[in-house]
Every structure is written in structure tokens, then in C-alpha cells.
Amino acid sequence: MSQYHAVPVPPMSIRFDQAAGTLSPEGPTLTRRMSDLEGLFRDHEAWEKAVADGDPVVYSVISSPVPEIDRELPQSITTIQPGTTGGELWMTKGHQHPNHQGEIYLGISGRGGLLMFDGTETRWVEMTPGTIGYMPPGWAHRSVNIGDEPYSFLAVYPGGAGHDYGWVLEHGMGLRALSGADGVELVDYVEG
């Protein structure tokens, strides 16, 4: 089983194979199915139906072997499948860093959006291959696939930042991304 590298981590190169969707060497891989996204879609009945109807994989996260500990700089590649549930575009759970620190995403393939929310203000950044999205400390972030193909992006983040998924359940994300005429229509956040 792949896992984080032992500390101290030596200087290394990590190869991303886009066709295979793999990192080499690689760390842990996370697979998020529809059932893992409870309470996040606006249309709860549509979410329940999707879970009962095969519980599809919504996104996966492959990590580099660099550990998530303070002073290290781990990376991961997330791939969100195209799709909608109740008209809402498939997305990541979204999280806040409990230890407020910044992060960058780099679009690799497909079309996506980066939704950021600091509890008051929202920002939406369209992500295409080559776009760098920057999340300042204190801004919760969620990624959305707004295209017809898988959307993949690289994340680079401070290893001590942590992941608080409950923050989004408690505070929302400010906006929701629905399927629209131009790919995406942003609407006010309404509880799921």
C-alpha cells in the first residue's frame, strides 16, 4: 500500500502520468463517492437517489509521498468527474484549513471552478489548464467540474494546514454552482 514518505523527506522528483492518472512515487489515494458528500448538495432527495443508484465516484485525490506535517509542502492531484445532482455540478466537499495557511491549485485538464468563502465574501475563479488559483489563509475552498470531461488540478499546500470539512457544513460556501447555459450558474447558497 502506498503511503507518506518517512521523515525526513529527501529531495525527490515525482512524476505525474496524466493518461494513467498516477503519481510515481505516490502516497495515499482518497476516493470520494456520492455517499461521502452527505449534506452538501442542495437537493437532498436527488442526492439520496444518486447514492441508491450506484453511489458513483465523484472525485479522487492522489497524494505525493510528502507527509502532511508542519514545514513540509505536500501535493495532490484531484480529479472530479463530470456530472450533476439535482442540477448542482459535481464538486469536492470543500474545507477550511484549521491552521489558516494559503494554498495554490494549478489546472491540469478539463474545465473547473474554484469557489472560495471567508465566511462573509465569496470568490469564483475559473480554472483551465495552466491557471493558478490562489487561496489566501482563512478562505475555505471547494472545486467544481463545470465541463463535460474530468477536471484535474494539482494542489500544493502547507503540510500543517489541516482539513476541516465540518466548517463547510456549518457555514456553507456562500454560493452554489449549478449547471447553466454557459456551463455554470452561480446562485446564493441555500441549505441542503
Tell me the closest approach of the beta carbon of residue 46 to Fe ion, in angstroms: 27
- d(Cα 90, Cα 82) in Å, to the nearest integer? 6
For Fe ion, which is the closer residue by CB, 23 or 50?
Answer: 23
For Fe ion, which is the closer residue by CB, 101 or 179?
Answer: 101
**CB 159 within 8 Å of CB 190:** no
Nine cell digits for residue 115: 469557489
In residues, how long is the chain?
A: 192
Tell me the closest approach of the beta carbon of residue 12 to Fe ion, in angstroms: 22
**CB 126 within 8 Å of CB 143:** no
Tell me the closest approach of the beta carbon of residue 82 to Fe ion, in angstroms: 22
The DSSP line for 162-189 is --BSHHHHHH--SEEEE--TTS-EEEE-
For Fe ion, which is the closer residue by CB, 38 or 103?
Answer: 103
For Fe ion, which is the closer residue by CB, 50 or 114?
Answer: 114
Between the CA of residue 133 and those of 66, 106, 128, 179, what are the distances in Å? Answer: 21, 6, 10, 21
Tell me the closest approach of the beta carbon of residue 42 to Fe ion, in angstroms: 23
Nine cell digits for residue 31: 476516493
Tell me the closest approach of the beta carbon of residue 95 to Fe ion, in angstroms: 6
Residue nearest to Fe ion (CB): 103
Nine cell digits for residue 167: 466548517
Tell me the closest approach of the beta carbon of residue 135 to Fe ion, in angstroms: 7
For Fe ion, which is the closer residue by CB, 36 or 103?
Answer: 103
For Fe ion, which is the closer residue by CB, 48 or 103?
Answer: 103
**CB 166 within 8 Å of CB 13:** no
Q: Where are the alpha helices (DSSP H) in the chain?
A: 44-52, 166-171
Site residues (vs Fe ion, CB under 5 A): 103
